[in-house]
């Protein structure tokens, strides 16, 4: 399987899912994980929202490096590492919110709260793992 086929397989799998686990690090260096809704772009960027009052927000302000896991029900997972950036530029924010709400229309209810913010995660490394195959299928992407 060629790299473009790997990318399509991985992106298609990510698209099938709308929740995942986001891992951040506290200012004291302790891990923290949360289940969140997300959306993705064709460039493997992830988009999510959170409240400024949540721990993950404070963690991301101090350390933007994150890990993310998608999938598990089908014995297929995607592990993802990247860098999160709060979306503040109005044009950029609108672009990514549109992508996010297209995938997660129910999340639009959080938009009215002033403490809601959106993040974009740019990938650094992604691993697709299919535990249903023998031998195990692993595909890695580096960005």
Q: CATH number of the domain at 49, please.
A: 2.30.110.10
Token pair in block for residue 110: 């959080």
Whether the CB-CB separation of 112 and 119 falls below 8 Å is answered with no
Residue 81's Cβ-count burial label (10 Å; 0-12, 13-18, 19+) is middle
Please give the residue range of the domain that contains residue 29: 3-142
Does the model's pTM come out above 0.85?
yes
Tally of domains in the chain? 1
What pLDDT digit, counting tens, does each position of 46-83 carry? 999 999 999 999 999 999 999 999 998 899 999 999 99
What's the pLDDT tens digit per position in 110-133?
Answer: 999 999 999 999 999 999 999 999
């Amino acid at each position: 399987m060629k790299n473009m086929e790997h990318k399509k397989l991985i992106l298609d799998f990510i698209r099938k899912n709308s929740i995942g686990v986001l891992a951040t690090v506290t200012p004291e260096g302790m891990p923290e994980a949360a289940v969140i809704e997300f959306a993705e772009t064709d460039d493997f960027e992830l988009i999510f929202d959170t409240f400024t009052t949540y721990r993950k927000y404070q963690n991301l302000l101090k350390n933007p490096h994150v890990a993310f896991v998608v999938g598990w029900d089908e014995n297929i997972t995607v592990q993802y590492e990247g860098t999160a950036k709060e979306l503040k530029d109005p044009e950029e924010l609108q672009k990514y919110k549109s992508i996010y709400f297209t995938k997660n229309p129910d999340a639009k209810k959080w938009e009215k709260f002033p403490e809601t913010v959106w993040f974009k995660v740019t990938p650094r490394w992604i691993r697709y793992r299919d535990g249903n195959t023998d031998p195990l299928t692993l595909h890695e992407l580096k960005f």
